[in-house]
Structure formats: C-alpha cells, structure tokens
Amino acid sequence: MKIAVFGTGTVGPTVAAALSARGHDVVIGTRDPEATLARTEPGAMGGPAFPEWHAAHRQIGVATFADAAARSEIVVNATNGGGSLAALAAAGDANLAGKVLIDIANPLDFSQGFPPSLNPVNTDSLGEQLQRAFPEARVVKTLNTMTASVMVDPAGVAGGDHSVFVSGNDAAAKETVKGLLEGLGHRDIIDLGDITTARGAEMILPLWLRVWGALGTGEFNFKVAR
C-alpha cells in the first residue's frame, strides 16, 4: 500500500523502514524535506543522522507533509505528540480526507521535566483530538504502547507473546490496520472500541516509563494475560 510516515525522530524512520521492507510504498513526511536531508545532528537515542539513515533507505522518499499525504492511502503519525496537530494541519484536510490515519504518537509533556505528564489526558486523548480536527480522516490509535523496535519486531520480545491495542471509529480502517500489524508480526491485537478508548492506550505511558526505569530497558511490552 502507499503509506506516508510523518516524523523523522526514532519512531518514524523505524516504522517506515519496516513497512518498506514488507513491500509497501513508503514516503517520509516532514515539514521541510531539504532541511531534514541536510541534518548533521545524530538521531535520537544515538542513531544515525537522518541523511545517513536515508542513504541506507533510498527506496523511501522524503516529501512535505502535504505531498506525502496526497500520494498515500495511509498516513502514520509518528511525530511528537505536542506537534502532531500542527503536522497534520500542514498536510491539509483534503489530503487526509478518507485516508486511514494511524496515530502512534503520545502526548507527552516534558515541560516540567521527567517523568513527563500527558496532555491531553483522562477525559480526552491525542487520538480524539486528531479525529475531531480531521473529521474526514479515519483515525486508528495503535502501537503507542511500546518502543519503536518492538513495534516493528514484536518477536524480539518474549517471542512476540504480548499484545497491541487498536482504537477507532471506523471498522474498515481498523481492519486495514490489523492487516498491517499482522504483517509486522503482531499476533494478539485487541480492539478496544471507538476512538475514545485511545485514552486508555495513551494513559499506560506513565506506567510504561516507570517499567522502563525499573527494568533498565525499553525492550518489553504489555501482554493481556487471560
């Protein structure tokens, strides 16, 4: 499928590379492609600078948010949660209308230091904000409950014996997303319900961060044991 992945941090390129490796036609969306391709600072978590990563993934295009969305059937939001509304606004309503918008971001607020709080939280979620802001997009929240490496290689943790959640109002969009998740190797996909259930998926982040601290690694995932 034609997929745009928004975001040039750790998550976006990781997901883009995995989807490309599985045969999808992937483009990275960014505010200013020229600036992104001229970056010299290393990636987050000590990864390579974006141009170095891109040199190893030439089959993945780099385009503006608008151009990337316009040519795609699916848009993956892997931008920082605080910047997601602006990034999608830059893509433009018309380029999102009817598209499956997979929101894997978390609305982490680091303004008071670590650990971050969430904003929005409790009675709202980033997933709902995006669905309200782009009512013609078909928003599905998923994958935000694990680190990027586990998103794309679930078998790397406990042989893949753990869970991933989907939330969204559009049943067909959720089926499309389930297909992509299965393609990445996810076996236990739990449909939580409509997009308001994204609150639950996002509100696991404070626990995720503390488990990360307790274990000293992000290489874990939650499993719904039953």
Partners of 206 in the β-ladder: none
Angle among Cα 64, 86, 68 to the nearest 5 degrees reads 25
Closest to 44 measured CA to CA, from 1, 19, 13: 13
Stretch near a second copy under the rule CB under 8 A, chosen from 10-18, 56-64, 65-73, 187-195: 187-195
The H-or-E segment that residue 96 falls in is helix 93-96
- Least Å distance between CB 192 and a second copy? 4
Give the separation between CA 200 and CA 118, rounded to whole angstroms: 12
- Least Å distance between CB 175 and a second copy? 16
Site membership for a second copy, residue 171 (CB under 8 A): no
What is the CB-side half-sphere exposure of residue 1 using CA atoms within 13 A? 18
Q: Beta strand 138-142 with 163-168: parallel, antiparallel or unpaired? A: antiparallel
Give residues 107-166 in contact with a second copy (rule: CB under 8 A): 112, 117-118, 121-123, 157-158, 161-162, 165
- Least Å distance between CB 209 and a second copy? 7
Q: What are phi and psi of 58, to 5 degrees?
A: -65, -20
Looking at beta carbons only, is 23 or 216 nearer to a second copy?
216
User: Of residues 37, 66, 90, 204, which one binds a second copy by CB under 8 A?
Assistant: 204
Site membership for a second copy, residue 226 (CB under 8 A): yes
Residues that bind a second copy in the complex, under the rule CB under 8 A: 112, 117-118, 121-123, 157-158, 161-162, 165, 190-193, 197, 199-201, 203-204, 206-211, 213-215, 217, 219-226
